[in-house]
Structure 1
Amino acid sequence: MRIGELAKISGLAPSRIRFYEASGLIKSVERKANGYRDYAPDTEWVLQIITGAQAAGFSLEEIRQLMPMNANGWQHDELLDGLKQKVGEIEILQQRLAQNKAQLLLVIKGIEAKPEGMACADNAQMLLHRLRDEAGASGRGDAVAAKGKSARQVSKA
């Protein structure tokens, strides 16, 4: 199948397909006498694996290490370990995102509950102190430093 057809079927730009080929993620194909690339039918499946893995957070290098160049080259243990490691990384990211969300919701609540007549800058300082106190109690100092920056940005609004 030619690159245009593969691009249409896969939804990827021909340049992306050429990039994956140059990167060693899909088999290099020989050009015909007319210069056209002719890809094997299973290339569409390989492209789906690559794009799915990228969507799941795998880097191209991780994909290259886990994915064999042919169907007989799958390394069961390495593949399983790599997948489990990525699930662990996703779980850590989910925890961080949940903490960030909780802190943002606290900032929103603090801004919305600004006492009547209090200046925004004073309210922002009050929120910063509250976030620092909570971070000290829970050991999340790094996240609070980032939130402090957010609160300063809010005070300028």
Structure 2
Amino acid sequence: MKIGELAQQSGLSASSIRFYEAQGLIPKVERLGNGYRRYPPQVLQTLNIIRCAQQAGFSLEELKKLLPDAATGEFNQEELVAGLTRKVEQIEAMQQHLAQSKAHLLEVIDGIHSRPEGISCMANAERVLSSLNP
């Protein structure tokens, strides 16, 4: 299939597809006599994997290690499982950090809402901000 058709089916721009090819994420493809690229149908599946993996936070460098080998089309199962496991661990660490940040922000909001009577907004802001310093 030509790049325009592949772009339409994958939801990616033609320039993104050319970029992924240049980065080695999809195999180099044959060119027709007129210079057009001709992509095999399997490239669509690889592009879908790339899109999903990027949404999950994988970098292009990480993706290179997880995608099927460009020459054989085979996955390296050990590398794939290890990479996916690392990403799950990173996501869990990020979730923990985000939960701590959320709790801290909720404390600040509570501090703002529990302004002592008779204290100005400016004085309350200083009170709340001073409580943030360790």
After TM superposition, the score normalised by the length of structure 2 is 0.90
2:127 counterpart of 1:126? yes
TM-superposed deviation, 1:71: 5.5
2:87 counterpart of 1:90? no
TM-superposed deviation, 1:72: 4.3
SS at match of 2:38: coil
Q: How many residues matched?
A: 133
Q: Tell me the alpha carbon deviations over residues 62-109 of structure 1, each in whole angstroms, 9 at most, x when there is no partner.
A: 001222225643111111111111100000000000111111111122
Q: Tell me the alpha carbon deviations over residues 20-73 of structure 1, each in whole angstroms, 9 at most, x when there is no partner.
A: 011100011121111211100011100011111111111000001222225643
Q: Pairwise mapping of residues 7-26 of structure 1 onto structure 2 (< 5 A)?
A: 7-26=7-26
Work out the CA distance in 2 between the residues paired with 1:72 and 1:3: 20
TM-superposed deviation, 1:129: 3.8
Work out the CA distance in 1 between the residues paired with 2:117 and 2:78: 62
SS at match of 1:40: coil
Amino acid corresponding to residue 121 of structure 1 in structure 2: M
Match of 1:59 in 2: 59
Q: Pairwise mapping of residues 97-108 of structure 1 onto structure 2 (< 5 A)?
A: 97-108=98-109
Note closer, same or farther for the CA distance 1:70–1:104 as it changes in structure 2 (3 Å cut).
farther
SS at match of 2:70: coil
Work out the CA distance in 2 between the residues paired with 1:80 and 1:46: 17
Match of 1:35 in 2: 35
After TM superposition, the score normalised by the length of structure 1 is 0.77
SS at match of 1:74: coil
TM-superposed deviation, 1:121: 3.1
Note closer, same or farther for the CA distance 1:43–1:72 as it changes in structure 2 (3 Å cut).
closer
Q: Which ranges in structure 2 are unaligned for 5 or more consecutive residues?
A: none
Match of 2:114 in 1: 113
Work out the CA distance in 2 between the residues paired with 1:14 and 1:119: 58
SS at match of 2:30: coil
Note closer, same or farther for the CA distance 1:94–1:71 as it changes in structure 2 (3 Å cut).
farther
Work out the CA distance in 1 between the residues paired with 2:16 and 2:106: 39
